[in-house]
Amino acid sequence: MTHDSELLFRYLDQTRQLYGNNLFIGSHTIQDLKYDKKNLESFCASICECQKCPLGSTRNNFVFGVGNPNADIVFVGEAPGEKEDKIGEPFVGRAGQLLDKMLGAIELRRKDIYICNVLKCRPPNNRDPLPNEVELCEPYLKTQLSLIKPKLIVSLGRVSAFTILKTKEPLKNLRNKTFKYEGIDLFVTYHPAALLRNPNYKKPAWEDFKMIRDRYLLKN
């Protein structure tokens, strides 16, 4: 990144902290600015000190996301858990280990895909995200997706699906369907933590991953 780009990001971040998230530039706001793929890391640096909601004061680490910045598939959970908050990386606990195995079963590794959450900070006691927290944090997810430009989003779990799709439909009714989010295909499947709690979900989750493989990997 050039020196001028660094100065621009620093200026925009300082202005956001002083005046809020909407910076008007002519007929556009800061949320309308387009980032290049190479600036995914810079985007993280510009928001990692976010204090827009109370979660900013209770987190240990801002959990932005990890993986391939040019990934065809982005997996999205609801929010960081305890281990993710300590380490600053999504899906690093038992659920993350299971996710790695599921990815391996369709010949994918973490470096092949991108993983993030709707919320970038852990809610206390791993409670569900609150509507105002989603409202404030979801624009970060949208910007991530605009930078990565994936072909598919995989929403992991009930809360992630409810948050992204703004629906209260049971997860079982959302599976085996293709939705659109930010113009990108979206599938819904079980969160790996749900499979650890209830092994009966493993078979349908495997069917979902095979569908991902068949529709978005084998044809490439």
Tens-digit pLDDT profile for residues 125-171: 999 999 999 999 999 999 999 999 999 999 999 999 999 999 999 99
What average pLDDT is seen over the chain? 86
Region 4-22 average pLDDT:
48
| b/e map 122-154, b = 16+ CB within 10 Å | bbeeeeebeeebbebbeebbebbbebbebebbb
CATH: 1.10.150.120, 3.40.190.10, 3.30.70.360, 3.40.470.10. Which one for 61-216? 3.40.470.10
Q: pLDDT over 90 for what percent of the chain? A: 79
pLDDT for position 10: 53
pLDDT over 70 at 32, yes or no: no
Region 66-85 average pLDDT:
96
The per-residue pLDDT for range 166-219, each reduced to its tens digit, is 999 999 999 999 999 999 999 999 999 999 999 999 999 999 999 999 988 876
Give the tokens for residue 83.
Answer: 């281990």
pLDDT for position 26: 35
- pLDDT greater at residue 101 or residue 3: 101
Q: What is the 3-state secondary structure (H, E, C) of the chain?
A: CCHHHHHHHHHHHHHHHHHCCCCEECCEEHHHCCCCHHHHHHHHHHHCCCCCCCHHHHCCCCCCCEECCCCCEEEEECCCCHHHHHHCCCCCCHHHHHHHHHHHHCCCCHHHCEEEECCCCCCHHHCCCCHHHHHHHHHHHHHHHHHHCCCEEEEECHHHHHHHHCCCCCHHHHCCCCEEECCEEEEEECCHHHHHHCHHHHHHHHHHHHHHHHHHCCCC
SS3 218: coil
**Model confidence band, residue 13 (pLDDT cutoffs 50, 70, 90):** low
pLDDT over 90 at 37, yes or no: no
pLDDT for position 39: 84
Query: What residue type is 60 in one-letter code?
Result: N
